Structure formats: C-alpha cells, structure tokens
Amino acid sequence: MATVGRQAGGSPGAAPGSRALSVRLVALLPAAALVLTPGSLAAAVAEAPAEAAGRHVFWRLDKAAGGHLFLLGSLHFGDERLYPLPSAVEDAYREATAVVFETDLRQTLQPGFGELMRARAELPSPQTLADLIPPAALDSFRSVARELGVEPLYLERFRAWYCANQLMSLALRRAGVDPRRGIDQVFCARAVSDNKLFETLETPAFQVELFAGLEESQAAALLTESLAELAQVRGFVERMLAAYVQGDLQALGDLVAASFDGVPELRRRFLTDRNATWMTALEAMAQRAGSQFIVVGTGHLLGDDGVIARLQKDGYRVTRL
C-alpha cells in the first residue's frame, strides 16, 4: 500500500500489496477497529476432535514465582460455532485473577470513542472521499455502500480508512459473524461480570492512531482493494473460523503472512512493533506471582516476531495447550 496505482490481478486504483491489507481488515485488525479460498466449516469441524491435545490457539507460561501466564489467541469476530470454548481455556480463565486485553473494549462501546474515531476520520470541508480515490473506485464505493444499506454521501465526508472499516464491519455481519461474538468481547463481558482485575496493553486512542496515521495514499489503496474483496468475505470468514476451531496454526499463520505479503512496513506497524512494545508488560507479569489470562489477536502470537516466539527466545518455557 504505497502509492495508488494498478497491480496485476488487482482492481483499478489498488496499490501494490494492498490486496493483502484488505484481508487483514477482516481478521487481524486491532480490537478497537471493529468495530482466500472458501471452505466448509461444518466439514472441517466434523473432522477435528474438539478437545484434542495441542489443538487450541492457547499457551501457558509457568512462572518461577508461582502461577501462570495464559495466552489465548482471539478472533475479533465470531458466531456460535466458536462456543463452548475448550475446557483448557475455561479452566485457565477461572484460575486467573486478572484478564489482560489489547485494549479496553468497554471504552470502545462508549459514545466518546465513536466521537474520537469520527473526529480523526472526518475530512476538512470542502474535501470529500472523491478527492482521495479514483473515479472508478468512487463509483464502486457508492454501489457497495448502497448494497450494504449505507448512504454513501454520509461516509464520503470521512477518510478512506474509516470508510473501509465501516463497510467491512457491515460485510462481516452480513456474512453471519459479529464483533460482539468475538472471543475478546466475550471475555471482556465475563471479566466485568466476574469482577476480575482488568488490564490492557494499549489505549483505544492508540489503536485509532494506527489507522489515522496512515498516509492518504495507503488508506485510499486499502479502501479501493477492500471494495473488490467484499464479495469474498464470507469465504474468508469460513476459512478463518475453520482454522481457528481446529487449532491449525499453520493455516492461521499462512493467513497472517499473506495479509502482509509485499508490505513489510505495514506488518511492522500493525504487528511487529506492537509485539515488541508489549513484551515489557508481559515479562513483568511473568515475574510476579499469580495467574493472568491474556487475550490478544491471534496474529500477535504467531510467527518468528510473535509474542510466543519472543517469550521463548527470552528463555521462558511456553507450552501449547
């Protein structure tokens, strides 16, 4: 997603590498933002034992001081097929005295968060989205917005990254999944109800700035390519859910890698740099007694620059459950 142009096999106006980032918009965004080949989830789940050892996107760090650091990969969207959660996850949650999230999802449900996001996204008058994306992309945007039940003129006063988020959120709901059924949202509600200590790694405002800080050309390319992929959201959701339910780390890792193919600077922005920053807080938790239950996007736990690999490189014993 560098400069707006045309990529072979992509849509008009899409920047090189932007196809991958529109896929990331579906599955791997920071929690506060939510605001490939189609597959059959039913068949995949039927073939996989629900409680098979080592089949969960879930790890345990045993602390020298006593207690554990549990790390659960989350999907920021979901439906009833994710539940009930594995018994290993439920047991760990009950043991933990504190639950740790990427950000405070309670704040993202408050009016002030929506106001903040809109303030960062609103274009200065008289500028509109038409000034930021090519005419063909604008026509496509208007058509897709109407199909999803949104008046395009309302969104056209906002920056491209905001428009992309709004359309993808609507497309996810049409695909039958909902951020409210995402694993992080479910545990947020449970932690509040159970009076668990509530900790976070980032502020909602920081997560907004991850997008607000994109160059206009990057944000425009993200929207343009997202428009071409909205029709494929259902297939992608099915593949992601199937891989998650089976605990297929290879498939999940491939999705993460593909989502940043050709745009290492954006992998660095959305994953690598944030993982590195989180390590200070996570290693501090690993040194204190008691158990914490950590819920972050699955993409943050996988790969050589993921949290699990970083903890192992620093000498911690981390066991997949």
Q: Phi/psi of residue 292, each to 5°?
A: -120, 145
pLDDT in tens, 154-165: 999 999 999 988
293 within a domain of the structure (yes/no):
yes
Burial call 174-206: b when 16+ CB within 10 Å, e when fewer: ebebebebbbbbbbbeebeeeebeebbbbebee
41-50, 177-186, 272-281: which has the highest mean pLDDT? 272-281
Q: Which whole number is the average pLDDT over 274-278?
A: 97
Q: Which whole number is the average pLDDT over 27-37?
A: 43
Rounded Cα distance between 61 and 92, Å, is 11
At residue 18, does pLDDT exceed 80? no
Rounded Cα distance between 142 and 140, Å, is 5
pLDDT in tens, 205-222: 999 999 999 999 888 888
Rounded Cα distance between 297 and 277, Å, is 15
At residue 275, does pLDDT exceed 80? yes
The CA angle 2-302-29, to the nearest 5 degrees, is 45
Rounded Cα distance between 193 and 203, Å, is 21
184 within a domain of the structure (yes/no):
yes
10 within a domain of the structure (yes/no):
no
Query: How many residues comprise the chain?
Result: 321
Number of domain units in the chain: 1
Among the residue ranges 31-35, 47-51, 72-76, 231-235, the one predicted with the least confidence is 47-51
Q: What is the pLDDT of residue 279?
A: 98
Q: What is the pLDDT of residue 228?
A: 76
Q: Which whole number is the average pLDDT over 85-92?
A: 96
Which tokens belong to 82? 């994710």
150 within a domain of the structure (yes/no):
yes
The CA angle 176-14-256, to the nearest 5 degrees, is 50
75 within a domain of the structure (yes/no):
yes
At residue 123, does pLDDT exceed 50? yes
Q: What is the dihedral of CA 40, 90, 270, 213, to 10 degrees?
A: 110
Rounded Cα distance between 15 and 6, Å, is 6
Domain of residue 300 covers: 18-320
Among the residue ranges 20-34, 81-95, 273-287, the one predicted with the least confidence is 20-34
* Banded model confidence at residue 179, pLDDT cuts 50, 70, 90: confident
3 within a domain of the structure (yes/no):
no
Which tokens belong to 54? 């080592």
13 within a domain of the structure (yes/no):
no
Tell me what the pLDDT averaged over the chain comes to: 82
5 within a domain of the structure (yes/no):
no
Q: What is the DSSP annotation of 95-123? A: H-SEEEESS-HHHHTSHHHHHHHHHHHBP
Taking 3-state DSSP, the helix, strand and coil percentages for the chain, each rounded to the nearest 5, stand at 55, 10, 35
Rounded Cα distance between 79 and 204, Å, is 24
Q: Side chain identity at 79, as an amino acid letter? A: D
pLDDT in tens, 219-257: 888 888 778 778 788 888 888 899 999 999 999 988 788
Q: What is the pLDDT of residue 262?
A: 67
**Residues 6+ away with beta carbon under 8 Å from 115:** none
Using an 8 Å Cβ cutoff, are 257 and 145 in contact? no
